[in-house]
Each structure stands twice: as structure tokens, then as C-alpha cells.
Structure 1
């Protein structure tokens, strides 16, 4: 036990001797090397010289040779390759063993119940913290040449931002932090690599839209003073809004074409196939990782299945565990029902709060739209003046920014509430606690981040009615209309602002929060020189990573995956922004873990857990959402229907589409309370819909073209979903979950392990037999000597 620099805090350093390590290595079934592997490492592709700049030195990428391994046994120590007892077990394995012992060590009795585990001591503030020490300083190498400072190596080759283009030293991460943290960085790196393909295709689609923007027939007609300039549009709000000319939205229509063109359909189909390939190849990567990291026969980590101290403290009864056959604390379900009720009520209230906040933002948009329209649509709008900021665009930008702020605020508070109500449910194990928290926070964030995008994509402009018979929200505000060029550009704006703002805020917060916190703690506690500032004090002044540290990292990645897949048809640059964010995210997370956080206790994991099921669910939903976006939010289907069924110009098939897509309304049919206050010299105005003209016997009723367009939209959704799902199931069938070479390597290793153990036991048996036989022979010789002595004496 040693006191700290300030004399107020006492540190107890725990060291596990060799006998303890070998005992618990056998208990935990830890696999250790028994022979150098004869299976070659994966070879680089033929053009490996092109990948030279991104490759790490072999000594960093593969810090240790490949071995055949077997579960450690104290009675077979001679079988294992033990060159040095001090370095035989990796540091992550040692700290896992020590923490396992501490988590099951009894320390007292209270009311007839044993007090067990370091977690309960930490929960009661008996100890302030318990953590493994970092492996030296991250800014300088080890002083002794025989010891490799893995923390320094990680910082130099992984945690520096100048190495953003380099691959990750995954084996070194696993050796230092354990498999659970290692597999997170494997997943994040793999996801980033796959995003590179999607980003290149999305960028190509964007460039196509950029190059074809000036030659777009729809924008050309809208911008033409003789076509769009002569079309008088109906007012955008009641009373205070004036008539306006279509060509005032010229710039807006050109921007819409950037994301609403022929490549939109191609990119939606491509992303449906991409997400399938992403998940199928991840299964293969995960299977390969299980082999490389000795996780093929992995069993659930005992640390996750261990009882939580809060559960033990609340339990007054005991029950026989059918698996362990031991008496364990037990809480009847009837005692937990009130807490489940409180938890469910809180979740429902949170979701209602979310929906009400979304409705509030919609009300804001409806209220402000009239204001924007009243002063932006002045007399100049009727003089062929091109507007750079339409009321729709102004409302969309301000509404999206407000919605983003509301999202970040609600997210901050709900995370705190979710953690509290999950504790109130009194989960039995850490695994149950994490699963319950995952469900609550993911559902909340799903609604929080995506509800606004769902509103713009699937509800805005769909049920607005027509002039003289508009639909109203709460009988107060007129429903929002889409721009004559469609609502897709507004969905793009919404998605861009929320996605980019979330990523920038997340990275800045993740980098600055621990840096400022640690600086303040060091400033308060440190008074002497670096030499007197011990290793354990330096680590104590760092932040604790916590058991839910990875949970929030996965959650952030999965939410981003939703932005990339659910609405990507409206924003082909989403994968590019996600790629840039992830390149920064990898280095930010590496920098945090290496320099700003205490070393986490190593834990095992063979997959990303429940997050994989969530990704599969979002992949299925994304097929439907992108199909509906192309069909109902984009303007591509109405243009195709006009192209094939209604165009009369063979040289310019889309000529006249703008005029065809706008219906005519007789100004005299306006109700008094909705018509503009100032009378104009127009008799008709135009609006976006397919309805009969006022001189038709069924005026303002949907015409036949409306039903043709609707049928085409529904047909497109069905065809697209079936094509993508067909490819999905076909690819899933063609791509095995476990690669053939990995299956062969697993079989080879099992065969060699059995053979090595068999030979070892056989040799050991021979030695024992030889030793026994020699002892028998020696005993027989002694007996003969005694017998001869007796005969001679006679």
C-alpha cells in the first residue's frame, strides 16, 4: 500500500504471482501457444505495392508469431511455450485474471449474506476506483530494451492524426485492450473501408447531376422567362401571401436536379446491394477474426454474467441456480413489476415528448413559412426576378437547424433518464443491464434523429389539398407544400444539417471533454515534479472508460449507418461525409483510449453482439424507405410517366413537362378568407397536382394522369423491393458466413492441437512407465542382494 502525492489518497497495488495466473488461466479456459503455426498468414493482393503507403511495419502489425493454441492446464505446463514467466501471459490476460478474482472475492457478511466482489466495494465508495495500469508513458518508449512499451507503440502507429491513412494494428490493440475493444475497432475499420466504395459511387452520381444541371429540361423551362416567367402560381399561404411567378424558383430547381436525376434510381439500387454485401462480408470478417484471435470455442464472458451489486443489495431471497447448483440472490417477478411499469411509462412519455417536439418544429415551419412568404414574395416576384432564397428553402433551413438543436438537447437528457430507469429495473447481470439500456436508447435516438426526415420524405406535401380546399393542421395552419421541383431537396437539406452537425458535435465533444476534465484534475492534484508523480497517480487522474464506453461508440456508429442507408437516395454524398467522419473517429477514439482514459479491464467478445441484429433490421427497412423516397419524394417517376405516355415532342421528350405537372385553378373560386388581399389582373393560377381544370365537368378532381403516376409509383416500389431482396437473398446464399479457407484452417488447427496433446501425453506416459520400470528393477536388485546376503550368512 502506498499513499499518493497529496497524502490523502491511498493506492493498493495488486500483483498476481505465477501460481495464481496459471490456476485461473485454467479456470477461465484461456488458450495459450503450444507450437508455431505452419499455416501461412493471408497474402496481400497482387498489386500490394500500391498499398505500401497504408501498410504498417510487420513488427507493429504482427507483434507476435502465429501459434497453435490449446486451453491452458497447470498439469501440462511443459506442453506450452513458456520462455519467460513474466511475459508468457499478455498484459490484457493478466489484468483480466486479476479483475476476475477481485469480482468474486468475498470481503464480509451482512445479515447472513456474503459480501462479494470489487464492484460492490466501488458501488459503496469503499474504494474510489479499480483499474489496470497503463504500460508506461505514451510519449516516450520504455527505458529497458527488453520491455516493449505497447502503449507508446500504439500511440506512435495508431493514435496520431497524421496516420489517418494507415491501417490499424489490430493484433496489438487486442493484446493491449482485449478482444472486446479490439473487435470494435475491427468493425469500425471494416465499415470505413466499405464506405469508400459507396462514397466513390455516390460522388460519381453527384458529379453526374452537377454536369447535367445546366442541360436539365425541367430547370430550363422553369428558368425560361417565356415559360416559367409566364406561369402565375397560387399563393403559398392564406391572406398575406401573394401570387408569384414560377421562374423565381429557378436556382432551387437546379439544386434539386443535383440529387433528383436519373442516377438517383441507380444509386438507390446500388445501396440496397451494397448494404447486403456489407453485412455478408462482415460475417466473413468476423469468422476470420474468431479464428485469428482464438475465439472459435468462445463462451460468454463470466464478467458479463456476473450478478450486479445493486441486484444483490436489493434481493432478500435466494434461489438455486439450475446451472451452477448454487444458492443465488433472487427477486420474484412480482416485486419488479412496479419498476417495469415506471420504466415503460417513462419510455412512452419520452417518445411522446419526442413526437410533440417534432410537431412543435412542424408548427414552427408552418408559422414562419407565412412570414417568409409575405416579405420574400413581394411585387418583385411578379417581375421575372430570380430569387436565390425561396420561402420553402428559407423555412427548410431554419427548421432543420432548430430541429437539430432540439435533437441534441433531448438526446442529452434522455440518456441520463434511460440510465436511471434501467437501474430502477434492477437487472440481474451486466448483460441484462446493457441489453435493456440498448433497447431504450436506440429506440429513442431512432425516433429522435430520423423522425424529421421521415416527415419530410413521406408526409410533407402529400395531403395538402388544393386551392380553395386546403387541409389544415389543428384548423390553424395550412399544410406545407412541396416546391414545384419536389420535396427531395428539402429532405437533402434536413439530412445534411442533422448528419453533419451530429458528427461535428460528437467528434468535438469526444475530443474536448476528456482533455478538459483531465487537465483540471491534474491541475488540482499535482504539485511536485514528474519524477514524484507515480504511474498509478497519473492513471488515476485520467477518466474511467466505464462498462458502457463501447456502448455509446457502437450507438454513434449505428445511428450514422441509418443516415447512410435509410435516406441515401436523397443524398448520395452521405457515404462520403460518413467516410470522412469515420477516418477522424478512428483516430479520436484511439487517441482517447491511449492518452485520456484509464486502461479498461480486458474482456472477451466474439462479435459486435446485439448491434449486428440492429444493423440487419435497418438494412431491411432501408430497402423500403429508399424505394418510397424515389417513388413519392423524388420527381423521377412523374417525369418517366410523362416521357413515355404523354410527351408529344419526339426530339425533346420532356418538353412541356412543367406545364403538364401544374394544374389550373380559377381565382374566382378562392374563398374570401384565403384569397390574397390585393386583387391582381389574373384569372387563373397554377399549383402542383394532377387535377381537372375549372372548365371540366368534374373540376378539381384527380385526372387520369394522377392515377397513372400513382400506379407507376406503386409498381416501381414493388419492382425495386423485389429486385433488391432477390439480390440480397442470392448474395446471402452465394457468400458463405465462414470462408472456406477459414474452415480449413480451423480443422487444421484442431487436428494439430489434438496431435500435439496426444504426443505430449504419450511421451509423458512413456516417461512414467520407464521411471516405474526402472524403480521396479532397482527394487528387485536390492531384494536379490539381501537374499544373497542371508544365504551367505547361513
Structure 2
């Protein structure tokens, strides 16, 4: 019923009252929401599959029954710990790091292409009904110019290599600043983990790294909200310096937003726990604090936490603040109207009521598109680490489409109706996200997750090897750290790496797993790209009915011109 209402409202009212540009936004949002249903269902199935095998995994049994003593995860305050202590974490991580997520990641990468191809068909049907299939923005601007001034001249295109170079340099500096903020978040998590490990609360002290990651995710969300405003101002100024127009602004704004949102996730997915060194040769910030390590259950757990916190905060809080903000502004205006002459209010009741609504501008619709495209990025790019992302997106969109309609109809002034036959540059942005989804998910499964090491372990080394080398501890830990909870002193401990215990050189296991990882990433990406190309070829951009109707219209126009 919800989806039926979505399409009904879009078809009947949006194009008549708001114009084709707003109507296409709701048409796209409704279509995106509908196609999220199969993705959400499959994501839940993958999650339930992992839940069924929650206890039966042979790998989890070996972790839970292991006697391996692991090295301290931080300086001074951490002690050695047993690998079996992570039994619960190992089981939980299996919920989003299992064989099913590989197939689901491949499905989502192909789904992104199928969604775009089906959207083109869906859009073509309505654009043909609205008689704007052959509409051209440049021609309309020229016609309006001629109507205002018969002797007008077209606005000539200009290009300056100097201005383009300046814009490119400024964009690069802005991206460096955004990446620098990501590094600041890394430092925050490192320092927070140390301070939390010194705290008085036992639970926080025992889970200092996990709490630090969650605090980092919350701070990342706050940074995103602040940088969104900065990015918008910078993108607008850059358009004034270089090429202006909606297309140029959209590309710059989305680029800044993408790096703001995903820089931290990229670090967690591909760098966390891989550049922190080893016992005896740890990498430290300012020579003092050790770089953070991955969660004991695997690096994918950290990525899962970041994705879950950011998606929940971003979608829930954004909707709440957006709706409450508009209601508060309207309430303030209602108070201002109390002093007006009642006779004037009766005469111009509708005009005054509409005028007193929140103002709208170019950014009103742009912000809605940006919010949904960013959500599409979260749903597809790192979905291998968070199979429930499509479900969260679906639930959010069911409310989002209704809240957007309420906002545009009753809380904001009416947008100026504008013609268009497409969602513009956003189509290219969505296509680029589809390509990034293939690359990112292939790397997440092949590099970040433990899928490949478990595969090699199962089929090459068998149940008698644990894949971890013993490391003799000599100078890197304090004596108090080498005492187990039972009071037993140890002289050596293990850590998650593939090195021998003599000269710490990489073992043959490391190179074998590295080769398998590389082969998997290449195979995954080639297979998915082939499926994406087949899907794009198999689904025509326009239905045959639309093509035939356009052909008949062209024939009728030609006959009229020849008569």
C-alpha cells in the first residue's frame, strides 16, 4: 500500500503542481525505495543464515577451545589474554563475515546496475507521458531570450585553463584538509583508547578499544554535520571562480561529501591494524602512543560498528532535526502574525499563509538528492561489512518520502516549477558509485575480512595448524603485562600476523594468503563487472512502447511540416 501510494501521488500531483523536476525526484525516490525491497530481503536472509550457523562454525570452535596466549593490545595497562576470551566476539563477527556476504556483495554490485537500468526505463515512461522526452534546456533558454529580446545573442561558452588549474589546486587542498580531519579522528581514537583503559569503570576499561571506536564514530558524525556546511560554501565559491552551473556545483559538492563521509571508513577498512607494526617494532604517534589495532574478532568488526553508528545517527537524527527545524520556524512566524490586521488576513488568507512558510531555493531539492545519493553510497559501497544496510535504508525511505512530501506541501513555500527530462548529473554520480561498489566490496572481502585466511586455512593447512606464529617477548612489554588473570607468568605470546619467531620475517603462509587475496579481488571484480555489463546490455533504456510512441509522434510532426 505504501508503494502504491508513492506512485499514485507521484503520477497525479507532483508533475502538475511542482513541475517535472520535483516530480522526477519523487519518482526516483519511490523507484529506489521499491527496489530496495529485494536487497533488504536478501540481506536479512544472509544475516539469518549466519545466525543459524552461529555456533556450528568449525573456526569458531577452534577459537573458543584455544589455549593460545595473545600479546597485550596496548601499553602498560593491558595484560596478555587468552584467544578463547574472544569466543563471543568470534561468534558475533560471523554474523556479518561469512560465506553469504560474498554472494550478497556480488548481488548488490549487480543490483546497483540493474537499479539504474530499470530506473531509466521507468523514467522514460513518465517523461514520454509528460511530453518532455525531447526537451532541451539550452533551447528553452534561447526561446525565453528571444521572447524577451528578439535581437538577443546566445550566451557563449568560455573556458580558462588558468581558472581550471586554480580550481583543481583548491579542490586538492580541500580534499587534503578533509583527509587530515580523518587522521585527527585516528589520533582521537588512539588517545581515547589509552585514557579509557586507565579509567575507573571496569567495563569501559576492559572494552576500551571498542568504546573508543564508537566514540570515534559519533565524533565522525558530528564532523560530517559541520563539514557539510563548509563543503557547500567552498563548492559555491569554487563555482564562482571556475565553471558555474548546477552540474559543476553538484560534482564538487558530492566529491567533498564523499571524502568527508568515507575517508574514515576507508581507513578502518584498509589501513586499521595493518600499519601498526609488531611487538618490538610498534608504530607510535609522536613516539608515545601505539597505533590502534583491529578488534580481537577481526578488522571487519570495526567497520561494522562505524557503518552501523553512522547510518543510524545520520538517518534518524537528520529526519528529526529536519522536521523539527521546519516546524519551529513556522511556529515563530505564527507568533509574528498575531499583530496583523484581521481584515487583511481574511482578504489574503492563502497568500499570507503560503508566504509565511519557510523559504526555498536551489539547495532545497539539491539537499534531498544529496541525502539519498549518500545513502545509496552507504548501501552499496561497504555492504559486505554491513548486510543490513539495505534494510535500514528501506525503513528510512518509507518515512523519508512522506516527510519530504509534508515538508514541501505544508512547511515550505512552493518550489518554482521547472521542466526537465532527467535527474541530471546525479545519474552519472550513481553510475560512478556502482563502479566504486565493485572495487570496495572486492577489497573488503579480499583484504579486510577473514574470509580468505579461513579459506586457505580450511583447504590447505587443515585443523592442526592455527596460522599464527609465536613471538618471544623481550623488551616491548612491562613485566606486569605478562601475567594472566590466574596469576601465571608467561615468557612469550602470540599476535595476529604471519612471522617466524627468530627474525620476525614474513612466512610462506603470508605470501600464500596474499596471493590468494590478490587472485580473489581480481576474479571478484572481473566476474561482477561482466555481470554488470550483461545486465546493462540486457535491459533497454526505454520500453518498446515508449520508443514506438515517440516514432509515431515524429512521423506526425514530419507530415505536418511537409504539408
State the TM-score, normalizing by the size of structure 2. Answer: 0.90
Q: Pick from 112, 122, 125: which aligns with 1:288? A: 125
Give the C-alpha shift of residue 177 in structure 1. Answer: 1.0
Partner of 2:539: 735
Greater Cα shift, 363-372 or 193-202: 363-372
Query: Cα distance 1:387–1:640, how it changes in 2: closer, same or farther (>3 A)?
Result: farther
Whole-Å separation in 1 of the counterparts to 2:132 and 2:153 = 31
Give the C-alpha shift of residue 173 in structure 1. Answer: 1.1
Whole-Å separation in 2 of the counterparts to 1:460 and 1:444 = 23
Partner of 2:20: 179
Question: Are the aligned partners of 1:241 and 1:377 in contact in 2 as well (CA < 8 Å)?
Answer: no
Write the deviation string for residues 116-140 of structure 1: whole angstroms up to 9, x where unpaired: xxxxxxxxxxxxxxxxxxxxxxxxx
1:660 aligns with 2:477: no
Following superposition of structure 1 onto structure 2, how do residues 253-292 of structure 1 map, counting pairs within 5 Å? 253-292=90-129
Greater Cα shift, 743-752 or 358-367: 743-752
Q: Pick from 376, 394, 399: which aligns with 1:561? A: 376
Q: Pick from 310, 313, 338: which aligns with 1:501? A: 313
Question: Are the aligned partners of 1:664 and 1:685 in contact in 2 as well (CA < 8 Å)?
Answer: yes
Whole-Å separation in 2 of the counterparts to 1:394 and 1:54 = 39
Whole-Å separation in 1 of the counterparts to 2:527 and 2:205 = 40
Following superposition of structure 1 onto structure 2, how do residues 320-719 of structure 1 map, counting pairs within 5 Å? 326-327=152-153, 341=166, 347-373=171-197, 390-419=207-236, 421-422=237-238, 424-425=240-241, 432-526=244-338, 527-529=340-342, 531-647=346-462, 655=463, 660-667=466-473, 669-671=474-476, 674-677=477-480, 680=483, 681-694=489-502, 699-719=503-523
Write the deviation string for residues 304-328 of structure 1: whole angstroms up to 9, x where unpaired: 78999xxxxxxxxxxxxxxx97457
* Secondary structure, counterpart of 1:661 in structure 2: coil
Query: Cα distance 1:521–1:208, how it changes in 2: closer, same or farther (>3 A)?
Result: same
Query: Cα distance 1:242–1:376, how it changes in 2: closer, same or farther (>3 A)?
Result: farther
Give the C-alpha shift of residue 523 in structure 1. Answer: 1.6
Write the deviation string for residues 718-772 of structure 1: whole angstroms up to 9, x where unpaired: 11111101111112222222222221222234445666x58xx98xxxxxxxxxx
**Of the two, which has the highest radius of gyration?**
1
Whole-Å separation in 2 of the counterparts to 1:467 and 1:231 = 16
Give the C-alpha shift of residue 700 in structure 1. Answer: 2.0
* Secondary structure, counterpart of 2:494 in structure 1: strand
Whole-Å separation in 2 of the counterparts to 1:270 and 1:297 = 34
Whole-Å separation in 1 of the counterparts to 2:303 and 2:124 = 38
Query: Cα distance 1:222–1:644, how it changes in 2: closer, same or farther (>3 A)?
Result: closer
Query: Cα distance 1:55–1:689, how it changes in 2: closer, same or farther (>3 A)?
Result: closer
Query: Cα distance 1:377–1:638, how it changes in 2: closer, same or farther (>3 A)?
Result: farther
Following superposition of structure 1 onto structure 2, how do residues 149-188 of structure 1 map, counting pairs within 5 Å? 167-188=8-29
Q: Which runs of 5+ in 2 are unaligned?
A: 484-488
* Secondary structure, counterpart of 1:665 in structure 2: strand
Greater Cα shift, 725-734 or 284-293: 284-293
Indicate the RMSD between aligned Cα atoms, in angstroms.
3.1
* Secondary structure, counterpart of 2:250 in structure 1: helix
Whole-Å separation in 2 of the counterparts to 1:480 and 1:352 = 22
* Secondary structure, counterpart of 2:499 in structure 1: coil
Partner of 1:196: 37
* Secondary structure, counterpart of 1:168 in structure 2: helix
Q: From the two aligned structures, give the one with the greater helix fraction.
A: 2
Whole-Å separation in 2 of the counterparts to 1:608 and 1:678 = 60
Q: How many aligned residue pairs are there?
A: 552
Give the C-alpha shift of residue 351 in structure 1. Answer: 2.4
Give the C-alpha shift of residue 266 in structure 1. Answer: 0.9
Whole-Å separation in 2 of the counterparts to 1:388 and 1:635 = 27
State the TM-score, normalizing by the size of structure 1. Answer: 0.65
Q: Pick from 37, 58, 70: which aligns with 1:217? A: 58
Write the deviation string for residues 249-285 of structure 1: whole angstroms up to 9, x where unpaired: 2322222111011111111111121111111112212
Question: Are the aligned partners of 2:468 and 2:498 in contact in 1 as well (CA < 8 Å)?
Answer: yes
Question: Are the aligned partners of 1:252 and 1:390 in contact in 2 as well (CA < 8 Å)?
Answer: no
Whole-Å separation in 1 of the counterparts to 2:303 and 2:218 = 13
Whole-Å separation in 2 of the counterparts to 1:403 and 1:678 = 32
Whose relative contact order is higher, 1 or 2, with alpha carbons under 8 Å and at least 6 apart? 2
Whole-Å separation in 1 of the counterparts to 2:165 and 2:421 = 31
Following superposition of structure 1 onto structure 2, how do residues 753-772 of structure 1 map, counting pairs within 5 Å? none
Query: Cα distance 1:585–1:195, how it changes in 2: closer, same or farther (>3 A)?
Result: same
